[in-house]
Structure 1
Amino acid sequence: MTHIASHRGGSHLWPENSKFAFAETAKLEVEMVEFDVHQTRDSRLVVHHDASIDRMTDGKGAIADLTYDELMRHVILGTRGERIPTLGETIAIFEPSKVDLRLEIKTKADGNAYEGMESRIAAELMLSGMLKRSMVTSFSLFRLEAFVEALGMHGGKREDLLGLVWLCSPLLLTQLGSKGLLASLNAYDIREIALKADTISAAVLDFWRGNGITVHGWAAHTREAAQAMFRLGVASFTTDRPDLAIAARPA
């Protein structure tokens, strides 16, 4: 079964990564919600896509440079005064629902890691009991490796997760090719990859499946793109329009 993940809580329907968007997503017939985790200067985990708050709030600055209290002075544009949610607040919205988590580990704007963030994410997922309902993703293999190590230190196992997925950009695919990407996955013992929806074909799936890799999609934002994901049978895909994806799901 191909699962639908509401990207940033459905960012073409509601203000992305907001509590309102998450509450609306929790009502939908989707399997997952996709969201992004950053860390404040005082080590609080918050859910926001960009490394800075410039685009989506009435404030400016890098999340890494702001304390949690400083961050809470600013509201998300398009909402009725909502602040950027914490990871804990996001988990609390979906815990009573049937919608599971597709969490992306982010980095600072310069690509460097947030110190200790993977450990804090692992601890929060385990404490909330949501580890088995979580798929963890990142564009960085280093961050996935760090998460697995942190999970083990907290007594968890990667097998408890719904998935551990390397997000791959079209540029990286062009630079390394499928064989290069496969070598990277094997080096880090990652068995799942997410490719941009418009780069996935039957031949592409045959290559990855033939090498024991599960394929997910991202950026399937139209009904036609969602139909292609269902037709190809990818494991899951993200979409900014979960309503269109639901309508495209085969009976």
Structure 2
Amino acid sequence: MSGAIISHRGGSFLWPENTLLAFSNTYAMPVEQVECDVHLTADGEPVVIHDALADRTTDGRGPVAAMTASEVARLRIRGAGQLGVPSLAAVAALFARGRMLLRVEIKPDATGRPYPEIVPRVLSVLVDAGMLGRSLIIAFDAPTVAAAWRAGGLAGAAWLVEPATLRGLGVAGVAAVALAHGLPAAETGIAAADAAYVAAMRAAGLGCGAWGANHAETIDRALALGLDAFATDDPALALGRRALIGQA
């Protein structure tokens, strides 16, 4: 669907990011997709948290990778009462009850390197939840996305391209890298997405999307560009803007 809305981290302008509260509220909204971030614990459990370090969003300190799954489960989100860090299994189970697509962004560790075994572990959780066919894998590391996509069964996958990378490679270069990795889509920040980017992706047979469409101006830009999907921290506003533009 052109212009599919992705609730980024469960809608972090509206609720504490990457929490079951945010995901439950997103589940009740008529958006097409929801996005979460995953890191791997010391004992190999994919957990839903944006940063490699627990410090910013929780009452814990240090790398998530140095903690066991049970230790991560005891962390509490800063300023959010008793809300804790969910496992990917819990998030996948929530969305297994509906039709919304789940986007899982696979994050690197605190040194910026891919976690060994994170791809098969994430895919295993999605299979167990019955969500593999309704999930997409995204990452800034193209080989990570490619490994997940090659495994088969996913609804989609996308390489996340930093605007600086897009400027450096050019739209043709980005398309070439995505194709060289066998990927179906490439996505970038909304400020870097323009008609040339969309045209190049379409010409290469690639899907295209963007993140960071968080205010009326950028949401309207995303809709006008005809992107396949765009991520927003304010899914309520995005739904309202899409409805308004659709009525115009």
- TM-score exceeds 0.5: yes
Contact 1:26 1:98 in 2 (8 A): no
Match of residue 103 from structure 1: 104
Cα deviation, 1:227-246, whole Å, max 9, x if unaligned, reads: 22112110001000101100
3-state SS in 2 of match to 1:55: coil
Match of 1:154 in 2: none
- Match of 1:170, as an amino acid? P
Query: What is the Cα-based RMSD across aligned positions, in Å?
Result: 1.3
If the length of structure 2 is used for normalisation, what is the TM-score?
A: 0.93
**Aligned partners of 1:131, 1:97: CA distance in 2, in Å?**
14
Residues 14, 233 of structure 2: 8 Å contact kept: yes
Unaligned runs of 5+ in 1: 152-156
Say yes or no: does 1:205 pair with 2:198: yes
More moved, 215-224 vs 199-208: 199-208
Cα deviation for residue 184 of structure 1 reads 1.2
C-alpha separation in 2, matches of 1:47 and 1:72: 10
Partner AA of 2:9 in structure 1 = R
Which residue is equivalent to 1:179? 172
- Cα distance in 1 for partners of 2:184, 2:74 equals 41
Inter-partner Cα distance in structure 2 for 1:25 and 1:213: 28
What is the CA-CA distance between 1:34 and the residue it aligns to?
Answer: 0.6
Does 2:75 correspond to 1:74?
yes
Distance (whole Å) between structure 2 residues aligned to residue 49 and residue 38 of structure 1: 8
Amino acid at match of 2:227: V
**What whole-Å deviation, never above 9, does each CA across 1:8-46 have from its counterpart, x for those lacking one?**
000111100011111111111101111111110011110
Deviation at 1:214, TM superposition (A): 1.2
In the alignment, structure 1 residue 240 sits paired with structure 2 residue 233: yes
Answer yes or no: is 1:224 the counterpart of 2:217: yes
Letter in 2 for 1:56: T
Gaps of 5+ in 2: none
Deviates more, 1:211-220 or 1:174-183: 174-183
Q: Is residue 184 of structure 2 the alignment partner of residue 191 of structure 1?
A: yes
Alpha-carbon distance, 1:183 to partner: 2.2
Q: Secondary structure of the residue that 1:50 maps to in structure 2? A: coil
Partner secondary structure for residue 98 of structure 1: coil
Give the SS at the match of 1:8: helix
What letter matches 1:242 in structure 2? P
Aligned mates of 1:178, 1:193 — CA distance in 2: 10
SS of the residue aligned with 1:4?
strand
Q: Indicate the residue corresponding to 1:163 in structure 2.
A: 156
Cα offsets for 1:132-188 (capped at 9, x unmatched): 111111100111122235x3xxxxx2xx32211000001111222222212211211
- 5 Å-filtered alignment, 1:108-147, equals 108-147=109-148
Deviates more, 1:191-200 or 1:234-243: 191-200
- Identity score, percent: 37
Give the 3 Å change call, closer, same or farther, for CA 95–135 of structure 1 in structure 2: same
SS of the equivalent of 1:165 reads strand
In the alignment, residue 229 of structure 2 is paired with which amino acid? S
How far the C-alpha of 1:118 sits from its partner, in A, is 0.6
Q: Is the 8 A contact 1:141 1:166 kept in 2?
A: yes
Structure 1 window deviating more from structure 2 (218-227 vs 69-78): it is 69-78
Q: Check whether the contact 1:39–1:117 (CA below 8 A) recurs between aligned residues.
A: yes
- The code of the aligned residue for 2:15 comes to W
Shift of 1:107: 0.9
SS in 2 for 1:212: coil
